[in-house]
């Protein structure tokens, strides 16, 4: 009997549909649910108002990250509103029996860093969280995406959400990435080609040699940024790299269960003749180290290029001019050599061990530039411990940098880590929106290598010159 060829996305999606509603969304089952202190309190309040409970508390995992300080975490949180949110999470998780890695817990960290590193995220799962960068977990061949607070309440109370099935897009990139070009540059490049809304309505599968050759950390960086393309999420088929990463992780299956899981995971790939609604192809050789110059992640370009003229970009002219005015940039200016004030290494995009290794590879034997304030924030305590173990901390200290404690930090600047108005930050995070890193802050998104190059030279510098 011949069956129609299907995509990886179809396989995982279709296996999670509890009910199809005619002319409506699918009732979609969620295997794993992550929650944090900012988008969950109102959902718990909703449960109470309705007088309903949590259906499967063992499927939800809580960590505090969005609004936590990145220094002196052993001290009481000073801001009363932030402290209130942390207490609410503590209270709510205790009440319903949900696992909680709060501040000070050795497993604490950014939700999209701790899920994978503890083996909670597995191939073929459906994963949601009230944070749009939940797409990160797609690196394991899972369907993972961000949800709103009403949906957090749905998952808590019924382990399901209502979702129309998105369209499918495949982005294939073959070839080998050049020297100094790392995982982050790939989605930034794609964004510069298709814009920040280029994948709206789609779920992306990333395929081709570039992704096959990436580490799990790199794949997470790529899938993390799929949401910035407007996509619901992005995923990469699991392979030997995935399995090797998962083997032995605390919550990953072990023994017989591992063998069984592995057999299933190996079936998770797109069939040869499966159809996508849209296919895009790029070549690795097209990609140089990238940097953004505008106020959405689609406004980026190769680091050696000039800022495009309004006629060359797909954003409307008024929006584009507004973006450049906010950034204090002009059309056709060179980006190399622009003065930088802050450097931020961290976030769920680039707060993993590989990112710290990359940063250290450039600052090693050099010194932090005097005009730079640098915030280096590991994604989790596990990453922090690894940084120390591998001797990276010594390299950083030697070069004049300090390490902060884990959390989202300047990625969304909800805590005290705010870039001051008008200042320029080269940031490894994911969003350069107006005010995202603090009111008036000007963000240039780039890879850890570009961030390191700026940190030691004080200006936007091509990292290839320092490698």
Residues that bind ligand SF4 (CB under 6 A): 65-66, 110-112, 131, 133, 347-348, 408, 411-412, 429-430
Angle between the 149-158 and 41-50 helix axes, to the nearest 10 degrees?
Answer: 50
Of 411 and 426, CB closest to ligand SF4: 411
CA distances from 285 to 85, 201, 412, 447, 462 (A): 47, 28, 33, 17, 17
- CA distances from residue 86 to 17, 55, 382, 437 in whole angstroms, order as listed: 34, 23, 21, 21
State the minimum distance, in angstroms, from the CB of residue 407 to other proteins.
Answer: 13
Nearer CB in complex with other proteins: 313/395: 313
| Residues 405 and 388: beta-carbon distance below 8 Å | no
> Which listed range, 40-48, 303-311, 349-357, 359-367, lies at the site for other proteins (CB under 8 A)?
40-48
Q: Per rule CB under 8 A, is residue 115 in the interface with other proteins? A: no
Site for other proteins in 189-248 (CB under 8 A): 196-197, 200-201, 230, 232
When CB distances are held under 5 to 8 angstroms depending on the partner's kind, the choice from ligand SF4, other proteins, none that residue 461 binds is none
Partner from other proteins, ligand SF4, none contacting 348, C-beta within 5 to 8 A by type: ligand SF4
Q: How far apart are CA 211 and CA 207, in angstroms?
A: 6
Q: Is residue 301 a contact partner of residue 193, using CB atoms and an 8 Å limit?
A: no
Q: In angstroms, rounded to a whole number, what is the distance separating the alpha carbons of residues 8 and 139?
A: 12
CB 169 within 8 A of CB 66: no
Selected range binding other proteins among 351-359, 395-403, 434-442, 454-462, rule: CB under 8 A: 434-442
CB of 462 to ligand SF4, least distance (A): 26
Q: Please say whether the beta carbons of 315 and 195 come within 8 A.
A: yes
Residues numbered 147 to 176 that lie near other proteins (CB under 8 A) are 147-151, 153-154, 157-162, 164, 166
Decide if residue 38 touches other proteins (CB under 8 A).
yes
β partners of residue 169? 204, 278
If the CB atoms of residues 93 and 409 are measured against ligand SF4, the closer one turns out to be 409
What does 111 bind: other proteins, ligand SF4, none (CB cut-off 5 to 8 Å by kind)?
A: ligand SF4
Long-range contacts of 382-385 (CB under 8 A, 24+ apart): 382/106, 382/107, 382/109, 382/114, 382/117, 382/118, 383/109, 383/113, 383/117, 383/351, 383/352, 383/353, 383/356
Residue 79 binds what, of ligand SF4, other proteins, none (CB under 5 to 8 Å, by partner type)? other proteins
Please give the Cα distance from 39 to 258 (Å, whole number).
34
Residue numbers 332-391 binding other proteins by CB under 8 A: none
Of 32-40, 268-276, 303-311, 347-355, which part binds other proteins (CB under 8 A)? 32-40
Q: Can you tell me which of 188, 335, 360, 414 binds other proteins, judged by CB under 8 A?
A: 414
Only one of the segments 24-32, 183-191, 271-279, 386-394 lies at the binding site for other proteins (rule: CB under 8 A); that segment is 24-32
In contact, 125 and 32? CB cutoff 8 Å: yes
Confirm or reject binding of residue 131 to other proteins (CB under 8 A).
Answer: yes
Residue 305 Cβ vs ligand SF4, minimum distance, rounded to whole Å: 27
Sequence-distant (≥ 6) Cβ neighbours of residue 325 within 8 angstroms: none
When the beta carbons of 277 and 389 are compared against other proteins, the nearer one is 277
Binding partner selected for residue 315 from ligand SF4, other proteins, none, CB under the kind-specific 5 to 8 Å limit = other proteins
Q: How far apart are CA 186 and CA 226, in angstroms?
A: 11
Residue 227 Cβ, how far from ligand SF4 at the closest point, in Å?
9
How many CB atoms sit inside 10 A of residue 22's CB?
A: 4
Binding other proteins (rule: CB under 8 A), the pick from 7, 68, 82, 380 is 82
Q: Least Å distance between CB 104 and other proteins?
A: 20
3-state DSSP assignment of residue 218: helix
Residue 50 binds: one of ligand SF4, other proteins, none (C-beta under 5 to 8 A by kind): other proteins
Binding residue for other proteins, selected from 357, 434, 458, 466, defined by CB under 8 A: 434
Q: Does 321 bind other proteins (CB under 8 A)?
A: no
Binding segment for other proteins (CB under 8 A), chosen from 130-138, 206-214, 338-346, 392-400, is 130-138
**Contacts of residue 335, Cβ cutoff 8 Å, sequence gap at least 6:** 291, 293, 301, 303, 305, 306, 307, 444, 460
β-pair type (32-35, 126-129): parallel
Point out which span in 84-92, 235-243, 283-291, 450-458 binds other proteins (CB under 8 A). 84-92
């Amino acid at each position: 009997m011949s069956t129609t060829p299907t995509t990886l996305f179809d396989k995982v999606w279709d296996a999670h549909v509890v009910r199809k509603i005619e002319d409506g969304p699918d009732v979609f089952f969620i295997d794993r649910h992550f929650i944090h202190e900012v988008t969950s309190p109102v959902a718990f309040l909703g449960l109470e108002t309705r007088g309903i409970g949590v259906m499967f508390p063992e499927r939800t995992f809580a960590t505090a990250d969005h609004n936590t300080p990145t220094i002196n975490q052993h001290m009481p949180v000073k801001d009363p509103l932030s402290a209130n949110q942390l207490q609410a999470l503590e209270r709510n998780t205790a009440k319903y029996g949900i696992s909680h890695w709060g501040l000070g817990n050795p497993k604490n960290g950014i939700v999209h860093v701790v899920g994978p590193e503890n083996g909670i995220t597995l191939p073929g799962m459906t994963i949601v969280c009230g944070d749009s960068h939940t797409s990160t977990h797609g690196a394991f061949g899972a369907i993972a995406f961000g949800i709103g607070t009403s949906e957090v309440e749905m998952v808590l109370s019924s382990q399901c959400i209502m979702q129309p099935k998105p369209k499918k897009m495949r982005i294939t990139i073959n070839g080998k990435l050049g020297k100094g070009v790392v995982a982050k540059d790939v989605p930034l490049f794609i964004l510069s080609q298709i814009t920040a809304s280029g994948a709206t309505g789609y779920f992306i599968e990333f395929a081709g040699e570039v992704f096959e050759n990436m580490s799990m950390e790199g794949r997470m960086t790529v899938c993390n940024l799929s949401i910035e393309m407007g996509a619901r999420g992005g995923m990469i088929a699991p392979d030997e790299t995935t399995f090797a990463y998962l083997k032995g992780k605390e919550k990953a299956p072990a023994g017989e269960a591992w063998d069984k899981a592995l057999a299933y995971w190996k079936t998770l790939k797109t069939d040869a003749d499966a159809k996508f609604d849209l296919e895009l192809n790029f070549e690795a050789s097209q990609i140089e180290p990238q940097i953004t110059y505008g106020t959405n992640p689609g406004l980026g370009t190769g680091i050696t290029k000039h800022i495009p003229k309004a006629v060359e970009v797909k954003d409307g002219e008024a929006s584009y001019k507004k973006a450049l005015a906010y950034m204090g940039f002009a059309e056709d200016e060179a980006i190399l050599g622009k003065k930088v004030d802050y450097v931020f290494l961290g976030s769920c995009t680039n707060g993993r061990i590989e990112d710290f290794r990359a940063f250290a590879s450039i600052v090693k034997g050099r010194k932090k530039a005097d005009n730079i304030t640098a915030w280096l924030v590991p994604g989790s305590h596990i990453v922090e411990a690894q940084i120390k173990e591998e001797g990276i901390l010594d390299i950083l200290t030697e070069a004049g940098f300090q390490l902060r404690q884990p959390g989202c930090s300047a990625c969304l600047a909800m805590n005290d880590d705010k870039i001051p108005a008008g200042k320029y930050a080269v940031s490894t995070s994911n969003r350069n929106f107006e005010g995202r890193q603090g009111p008036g802050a000007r963000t240039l998104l780039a890879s850890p290598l570009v961030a390191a190059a700026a940190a030691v030279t004080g200006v936007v510098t091509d990292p290839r010159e320092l490698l």
